[in-house]
């Protein structure tokens, strides 16, 4: 018999966070989160996403053993300001038992009904900066810190229960050695800087970067607002992300482009790949986890392209040549070997065009699924 328990206590939330550690034990492709960081993300007093969201956490039990988990999420900005009557679900992990999946998603459906919502979509997080999707291809490829890993049966369960594909995302990788003709964008960036009176901003220290971070998040909201179901970052979330993440990213991997008035018109965030360091950390910063992460931050030879944004009036003007030129210089100096592109909407053709000259190989795909709420 399957029992579903809604959890609220700190001890149960820790069980929620730690369930994937047993589910994926020994799996060489799964990337464990830092348990403390994950718990803080679920803390209503620390994560400002809860200011505009209602979240229910569920664990599934069978024979007194945890066999599944899911977070049911209502984003009120999405519902009340954008008119999108969507019930979200995320942090979705289950054993290979479709009855477990059904029992958990029935709870998600139940909450959606209580709020008169129209459909369910997931796996997704609180906002567009959270993890997204179940894997549809690339189960034999190592994950990264900003994506969920999943077994092939996740998709089978969802489709058997009547869920249909909503969005497809692709992830790709290319060798830094594929950048055969850097002089192409080196010449282009000089021309574009002169034509539009632009400057590139690079940083050596985090404190140099911090004065520009709020402006970067504002530009992120402007750049991505037209994508489907985009949820903007609030002022409190800016402060939260700044404190939680920016200080940990190598400042040399964040690039800005400014106009003649020193306004940021483009940005890009690249992170060292922390995948193998997180595997070594095994969910804990101490005693050795922090050492592995700091070592990867400074000496890692793989990088992850996380975000890129260009103000709409500067799109299609070659501004990316400026960004690529700066990264080329940084990556060459640091001996970077591989560049990984994080999850990008398959339909976002503009972003795909940016990479066409680097011969990227699509090595993973992931999807979100949707289903109308049953009344």
Can you give 42-95 as a three-state secondary structure string? CCCCCCHHHHHEEEEEEEEEECCEEEEEEEEEEEHHHHHHCCCCEEEEEEEEEC
Co-location of 158 and 204 in the same domain: no
Do residues 227 and 313 share a domain?
yes
Q: Give the mean pLDDT of 200-227.
A: 90
The mean per-residue pLDDT over the stretch 325-350 comes to 87
Residues ≥6 apart with Cβ < 8 Å to 79:
85, 86, 115, 117
Domain match, 30 and 73 both: yes
Write down the pLDDT at residue 342: 85
Cβ–Cβ under 8 Å, residues 70 and 89 = yes
Asked if residue 234 and residue 193 are part of one domain, the reply reads yes
How many CB atoms within 10 Å of residue 302? 20
Q: pLDDT at position 350, please? A: 66
* Least reliable range by pLDDT among 70-74, 96-100, 108-112, 305-309: 305-309
pLDDT for 7-19, tens place per residue? Answer: 999 999 999 999 9
Average pLDDT value for the chain: 92
- Mean pLDDT value across residues 267-277: 93
Distance (Å) of CA 152 to CA 14, 95, 197, 253 = 26, 11, 50, 34
Instruction: Indicate the helix (H) or strand (E) that contains 196.
Output: helix 182-196
Q: Do 203 and 314 belong together in one domain? A: yes
Q: What's the structural domain count of the chain?
A: 2
Q: Do 167 and 178 have their domain in common? A: no
Domain holding 85: CATH number?
3.40.630.30
What is the structure's pLDDT at 228? Answer: 64
pTM of this structure:
0.92
Do 268 and 341 lie in one domain? The reply is yes
Could you tell me if 299 and 338 are in contact, meaning their C-beta atoms sit under 8 angstroms apart? no
In contact, 176 and 157? CB cutoff 8 Å: no
| Averaged pLDDT, 23-46 | 95
- Among 311, 220, 224, which residue's Cα sits nearest to residue 263? 311
| Placement of tokens 């398959």 in the chain | 346
Residues 167 and 201 in one domain: no
Using 50, 70 and 90 to split pLDDT, how confident is the model at 273? very high
Q: For 72-88, what is the mean pLDDT?
A: 93
- Whether residues 166 and 223 share a domain: the answer is no
Average of pLDDT values for 293-317?
A: 91
Residues 335, 196: one domain? yes
Is the same domain home to 186 and 163?
A: no
Beta bridge partners of 310: 266
Positive or negative: CA dihedral 218, 224, 225, 229:
negative
Higher-confidence position of 151 and 342: 151
Burial call 50-87: b when 16+ CB within 10 Å, e when fewer: eebbebbbbbbbbeeebbbbbbbbbbebbbeeeebebb
List beta partners, residue 168.
367
pLDDT of residue 156: 98
pLDDT value for 7: 95
CA angle 82, 87, 89 (to 5 degrees): 125
Tell whether 152 and 206 lie within a shared domain: no
Q: Which domain holds residue 151?
A: 2-171+368-372
Mean pLDDT along residues 119-138: 93
3-state SS assignment for residue 236: helix
Q: Is the pLDDT of residue 244 over 90?
A: no
């Amino acid at each position: 018999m399957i029992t579903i328990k809604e959890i609220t206590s700190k001890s149960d939330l820790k069980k929620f966070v730690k369930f994937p550690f047993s589910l994926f034990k020994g799996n060489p492709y799964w990337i464990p989160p830092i348990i403390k960081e994950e718990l803080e993300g679920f803390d209503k007093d620390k994560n400002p996403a809860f200011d505009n969201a209602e979240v229910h956490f569920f664990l599934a039990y069978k024979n007194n053993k945890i066999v599944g988990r899911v977070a049911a999420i209502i984003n009120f900005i999405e519902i009340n300001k954008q008119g999108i009557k969507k019930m979200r679900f995320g942090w979705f992990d289950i054993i290979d038992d479709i009855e477990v999946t059904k029992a958990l998603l029935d709870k998600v459906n139940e909450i959606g009904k209580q709020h008169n919502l129209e459909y369910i979509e997931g796996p997704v997080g609180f906002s567009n900066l959270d993890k997204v999707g179940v894997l549809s291809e690339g189960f034999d490829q190592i994950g990264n810190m900003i994506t969920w890993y999943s077994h092939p049966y996740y998709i089978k369960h969802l489709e058997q229960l009547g869920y249909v594909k909503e969005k497809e995302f692709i992830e790709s990788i290319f060798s830094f050695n594929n950048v055969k003709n850097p002089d192409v964008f080196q010449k282009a960036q000089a021309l574009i800087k002169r034509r539009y009176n632009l400057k590139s901003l690079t940083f050596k220290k985090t404190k140099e970067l911090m004065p520009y971070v709020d402006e970067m998040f504002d530009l992120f909201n402007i750049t991505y607002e037209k994508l489907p179901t985009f949820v903007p970052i609030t002022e409190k979330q800016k402060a939260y992300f700044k404190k939680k993440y920016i200080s940990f990213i190598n400042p040399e991997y964040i690039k800005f482009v400014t106009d003649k008035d020193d306004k940021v018109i483009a940005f890009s965030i690249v992170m060292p790949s922390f995948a193998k360091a997180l595997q070594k950390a095994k969910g804990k910063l101490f005693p050795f986890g922090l050492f592995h992460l700091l070592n990867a931050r400074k000496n890692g030879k793989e990088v992850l392209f996380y975000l890129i944004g260009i103000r709409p009036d500067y799109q299609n003007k070659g501004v990316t040549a400026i960004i690529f030129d700066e990264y080329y210089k940084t990556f060459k100096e640091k001996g970077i070997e591989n560049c990984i592109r994080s999850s990008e909407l398959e339909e976002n053709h503009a972003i795909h065009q940016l990479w066409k000259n680097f011969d990227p190989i699509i090595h993973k795909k992931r999807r979100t699924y949707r289903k109308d709420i049953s009344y």
